């Protein structure tokens, strides 16, 4: 690898790390941001929304960043195929960095009212657009500098960036929290990680300004073979659109759900379902990422030898068949009392079926009023495994804990009823909040006890699946498309697969848990998508590792 090639990889990877850092800060701090920006006061001086609603709005704004990523792929992909790779991903990093810095200085709702959440959502949308254009540019730029036979190795460094960006955001947040204390962090310290991004932006821009355009793009420009309408050529002509569709369903959809399950849903599962405190859960994930990140490069190199297809599809299949076992093992280690209660305590919601509607609520905006729905929603949020039993028409809804019946009435009375249900559950064996058997890390290096080491080991396996599907994906996507439409064509399936199939996974999976009363039921979402990708990829995705991407033109 020449000095120039090393600079290309460093500049592209470092800039993309910082973009992911900016993007994930919001998700890690969604609850605090909800309190700061969505705590809008009404004319009577009272908050318009309760805490739960504020958190929902904050999460919806987080999801908005994922939803607009494919549109960013279209906008910046077109510019990248027309103007060049270098200047396009220079614009995307400026857009991301400036948007993130403004979040850090934006006054809250207490100062500027309804303008605060509106501006925040606009900034979040700009972040999503920027990220939609960044990845395709960085991956294409690096791949077009790589020699044939080594693209998997070169582009695998780009693949480490999302994980490193998440890792960096977690470390900065944990450091600031530790130094200034939790109260100060919630009041003003949460802004520090956002403000730090301006320094990272300066470093990234300085490095990228020194880069030259990619050889493949310069050659295409010199020969006059570039596309005049890359979007219509990419997606308006079936011969190209077909490849993009195969790339989505046969590669990136499965890759996206495996990636988000191993990193984000695992974190959500620890905190929201197993009731592990946020400090400990973030540290456990951070350690698993630290141990696993090198395998992105390992599987990138391996894909140069045996092909992209067997590694990516193999990762999808292995993940799909092992998720239930691995997440059950996480429960065993992280909250053994909960696992025992799930197996030994019988909980039933006995209600008129007419009162029991769907609890599918992936964006968290629905409000339940029927007794049966409110009861089941309460149990699911308490991580209680339950069954719904039909009662005669008009019967009073009851929650039965090992046969002990507790009448359940929604509305103001639900507060006292919930206390009675909680007491019955804890009496039957469900753990109390802060139960000493729940994993808790005393400090960042508290990883040598059997409990913490075991959890990190299981999380590391989940990250290993992530590295299998993600390490070779950039090379595979770049090799599927010709130079003149490569940026546009590879960016859209990537960001639909990751931004939509993957990014909306945690909320969708938890909605499935709430709807069924089974804490593992949400895993069916990534399992079904991963198996779909395995089958479609096996049948329709070509092996591309030996293609010369400068001369490749598909029929």
Residue 238: both structure tokens together: 């079936």
Instruction: At 299, list the tokens.
Output: 């599987």
- Higher-confidence residue of 347 and 224: namely 347
- Delimit the domains of the chain by residue range: 1-223, 230-335+438-549, 340-428
Mean pLDDT of the chain: 87
Q: Do domains 1-223 and 230-335+438-549 have the same CATH topology?
A: yes
Identify the three-state secondary structure at position 147: coil
What average pLDDT does this structure show over 236-245? 89
pLDDT-derived band at 53 (thresholds 50, 70, 90) equals: low
d(CA 113, CA 87): 38
- pLDDT tens per residue across span 420-477: 999 999 999 999 988 899 999 998 899 999 999 999 999 999 999 999 999 999 999 9
What are the helix and strand counts (H, E) for the chain? 26, 4
> Kind of pairing, strands 398-401 and 404-407?
antiparallel
Within 8 A by CB and 6+ apart from 201, the residues are 18, 93, 94, 96, 97, 98, 100, 101
Q: What is the CATH number of domain 1-223?
A: 1.20.1250.20
Tell whether the model's pLDDT for residue 491 goes beyond 90.
no
Distance between CA 543 and CA 308 in Å, rounded? 7
- Tens digits of per-residue pLDDT, 109-125? 888 888 888 898 889 88
> Which residue bears the tokens 């700009």?
126
Contacts of 47 (CB under 8 A, 6+ apart): 39, 40, 41
Look at residue 56 in the predicted model and tell me its pLDDT: 65
- CA dist 135 and 151 (Å) reads 16
User: In Å, what is the CA distance from 274 to each residue of 230, 277, 304, 514?
Assistant: 48, 9, 40, 14
Identify the pLDDT of residue 315: 97
- Helix (H) or strand (E) holding 105, with range, is helix 85-105
CATH of domain 230-335+438-549: 1.20.1250.20
Quick check: 521 pLDDT over 90?
yes
Phi-psi region of 517 (alpha: psi -120 to 50; beta: other; left: phi over 0): left
Q: Which of 44-53, 195-204, 221-230 has the highest mean pLDDT?
A: 195-204
Residue 555 confidence class, pLDDT cut points 50, 70, 90: very low
Whole-angstrom CA distances from 255 to 137, 272, 523 are: 19, 24, 15
At 290-343, the pLDDT tens digits run: 899 899 999 999 999 999 999 999 999 999 999 999 999 999 999 999 999 999
- Reported in sequence order, the residue ranges of 275-393 that DSSP labels E, i.e. its strands, are 347-351, 387-390
Q: Is it the case that residue 554 has pLDDT exceeding 60? A: no
Q: Is the pLDDT of residue 412 over 70?
A: yes
pTM of the model as a whole: 0.86
Surface-to-core class of residue 209, CB atoms within 10 Å of its CB (0-12 exposed, 13-18 middle, 19+ buried): exposed
Find which of 198-207, 222-231, 425-434 is predicted with most confidence, using mean pLDDT.
Answer: 425-434
Residue carrying structure tokens 């949460």: 190
Tokens (6 digits) for 117: 């959440």
- Assign domain 340-428 to its CATH architecture: 3-Layer(aba) Sandwich (3.40)
């Amino acid at each position: 690898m020449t000095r120039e090639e090393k600079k290309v990889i460093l500049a592209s990877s470092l800039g993309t790390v910082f973009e992911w850092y900016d993007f994930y800060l919001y998700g890690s701090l969604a609850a605090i941001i909800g309190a700061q920006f969505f705590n809008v006061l009404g004319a009577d001086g009272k908050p318009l929304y309760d805490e739960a609603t504020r958190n929902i709005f904050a999460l919806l704004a987080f999801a908005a960043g994922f939803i607009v990523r494919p549109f960013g792929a279209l906008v910046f992909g077109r510019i990248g195929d027309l103007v060049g790779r270098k200047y396009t991903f220079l614009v995307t990093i400026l857009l991301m960095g400036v948007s993130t810095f403004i979040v850090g200085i934006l006054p809250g709702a207490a100062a500027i009212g309804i303008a605060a959440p509106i501006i925040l959502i606009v900034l979040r949308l700009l972040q999503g657009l920027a990220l939609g254009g960044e990845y395709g540019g960085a991956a294409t730029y690096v791949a077009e500098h790589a020699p044939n036979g080594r693209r998997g190795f070169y582009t695998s460094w780009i693949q480490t960036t999302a994980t490193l960006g998440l890792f960096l955001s977690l470390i900065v947040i944990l450091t600031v929290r530790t130094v200034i204390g939790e109260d100060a962090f919630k009041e003003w310290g949460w802004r520090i990680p956002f403000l730090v991004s301006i320094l990272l932006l300066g470093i990234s821009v300085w490095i990228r300004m020194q880069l030259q355009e990619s050889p493949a793009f310069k050659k295409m420009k010199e020969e006059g073979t570039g596309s005049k309408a890359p979007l219509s050529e990419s997606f308006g002509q079936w011969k190209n659109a077909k490849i993009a569709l195969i790339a989505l369903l046969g590669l990136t959809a499965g890759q996206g759900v495996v990636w988000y399950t191993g990193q984000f849903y695992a974190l959500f599962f620890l905190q929201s379902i197993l009731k592990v405190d946020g400090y400990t859960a973030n540290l456990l994930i951070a350690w698993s990422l630290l141990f696993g990140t090198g395998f992105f490069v390992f599987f990138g190199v391996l894909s140069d030898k045996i092909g992209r297809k067997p590694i990516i599809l193999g990762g999808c299949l292995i993940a799909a068949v092992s998720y239930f076992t691995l997440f059950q093992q996480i429960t065993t280690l992280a909250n053994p009392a909960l696992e025992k209660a799930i197996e030994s305590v019988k909980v039933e919601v006995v209600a008129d079926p007419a009162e029991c509607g769907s609890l599918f609520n992936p964006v968290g905006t629905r409000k339940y009023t029927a007794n049966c729905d409110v009861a089941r929603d309460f149990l699911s949020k308490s991580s209680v495994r339950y069954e719904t039993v039909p009662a005669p028409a008009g019967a009073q809804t009851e929650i039965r804990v090992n046969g002990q019946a507790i009448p359940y009435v929604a509305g103001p009375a639900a507060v006292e009823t919930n206390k009675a249900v909680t007491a019955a559950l804890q009496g039957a064996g469900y753990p109390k909040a802060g139960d000493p058997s729940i994993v808790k890390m005393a400090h960042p290096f508290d990883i040598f006890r059997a409990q913490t080491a075991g959890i990190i080991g299981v999380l590391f396996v989940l990250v290993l699946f992530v590295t299998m599907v993600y390490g070779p994906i950039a090379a595979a996507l770049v090799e599927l498309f010709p130079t003149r439409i490569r940026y546009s064509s590879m960016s859209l399936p990537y960001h639909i697969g990751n931004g939509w199939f993957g990014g909306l996974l945690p909320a969708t999976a938890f909605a499935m848990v709430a709807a069924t009363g089974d804490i593992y039921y949400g895993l069916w979402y990534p399992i079904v998508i991963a198996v779909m990708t395995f089958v479609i990829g096996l049948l329709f995705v070509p092996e591309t590792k030996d293609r010369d991407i400068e001369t490749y033109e598909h029929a």
